[in-house]
Amino acid sequence: MGGFILRRLALALPSLLGISVVLFTVLALAPGDPFAELATNSNVPPEVRVHLRASLGLDDPVALRYLHWLWALLHGDWGFSFISRIDVTTLIWQRVPVTLGLIGSSQLLALAIALPVGTLSAVRPYSWFDRIASTIALAGFSLPTFFTGILLILVFSIKLDWLPFVYRSDVEMTGWRAVVEHVRQAIMPVVVLGLFQGAGWTRYVRSAVLDVIRLDHVTTARSKGLPEHRVITRHVLRNALIPVVTLVALQMPTVFGGAIVTEQIFRIPGIGSLLIDAILRNDTPVIMGVTFVFSVLVIVFNLVADLLYGLLDPRIALR
């Protein structure tokens, strides 16, 4: 298993490098000179401008600039926000836990929906339950997160007035009431993201279980006289989960996209809303930083999925 983990880590590094190349290329190709302002400013003599460019390495060959940029990135030197003058790393680290909390709890909700519903659908394919569940899953999968968010706000905040629709990190209550308040304001964002993912995953779980349930070892388990729930949990689900893990990992970029939208609707102070704010205010260092963090998160989650894959299917780890 140790060798397997190391091999996977070694595979993740090139993709990380690949993503950094993509990011740098986008930045380098982007029109607009960072010194355009100085060029039109008549108070700055041309010699000074040329000197500044040379001292910042802007005239170096592209490959050298990329190495410099990568070196600074690896050292945690991500620059300062143009707007708030705060270190980009500080700004991002403050907000990463919020985003991870949102994504984590919505994933749990999605799993809690998708596993039982998908399995039950596959155990009795084309039954009434399966038809209704499949139709709802496809509908839920087609509901964009921004519309579900608006619908929930309309019903639960405006019509019924049960839940707050703006997320506040500075709840001025203490003790249990603060905890309750935090949970209350987290319900809608988590439900929006969780339902969207749960709908997609239900389809995956259903088709994966359908593939496994007709295999010979399941018939054997049944004819041994094992109770049905044991057949399903021990002999079907464990094998069915292997392809599901891969599909879930492939969905991670979509999940992050959903998180950005959800944070924006409910004004949750995570890195997604940080990204949108930065774009609306032309805050390039923050935009680059957040995009890179999102890329790293996607790769980390893919890595976790790979390791889970090895855990569920020992054949992979041995290979």
Instruction: Name which of 23 and 44 has its Cβ closer to another protein.
Output: 23
Instruction: Name which of 193 and 314 has its Cβ closer to another protein.
Output: 193
Name the DSSP class of 153. I
Query: In 202-215, which positions are buried (b, 16+ CB within 10 angstroms) versus exposed (e)?
Result: bbbbbbbbbebbee
Rg of the chain over Cα atoms, rounded to whole angstroms, equals 25
CA distance 147 to 142: 10
Smallest separation (angstroms) from another protein to the CB of 305 = 11
**Bridge partners of residue 80, in order along the sequence:** 87
Instruction: Name which of 23 and 38 has its Cβ closer to another protein.
Output: 23
Instruction: Name which of 181 and 211 has its Cβ closer to another protein.
Output: 211
- Footprint of another protein on this chain (CB under 8 A)? 14-15, 18-19, 22-23, 26-27, 30-32, 135, 138-139, 141-144, 146-147, 150-151, 153-154, 158, 250, 252-254, 256-257, 260-261, 264-265, 275-276, 279-280, 282, 287-288, 290-291, 294-295, 297-299, 302
In degrees, to the nearest 5, what angle opens at C-alpha 56 toward C-alphas 40 and 83? 65
Smallest separation (angstroms) from another protein to the CB of 113 = 18
Dump the DSSP string for 228-285: HHHIIIIIIIHHHHHHHHHHHHHHHHHHHHHHHHHHHHHT--SHHHHHHHHHHTT-HH
Instruction: Name which of 35 and 146 has its Cβ closer to another protein.
Output: 146
Smallest separation (angstroms) from another protein to the CB of 296 = 9
Instruction: Name which of 126 and 176 has its Cβ closer to another protein.
Output: 126
The owner of tokens 């300062």 is 80
Smallest separation (angstroms) from another protein to the CB of 48 = 27
Smallest separation (angstroms) from another protein to the CB of 17 = 10
Number of H helices, E strands in the chain: 14, 0
Smallest separation (angstroms) from another protein to the CB of 124 = 14
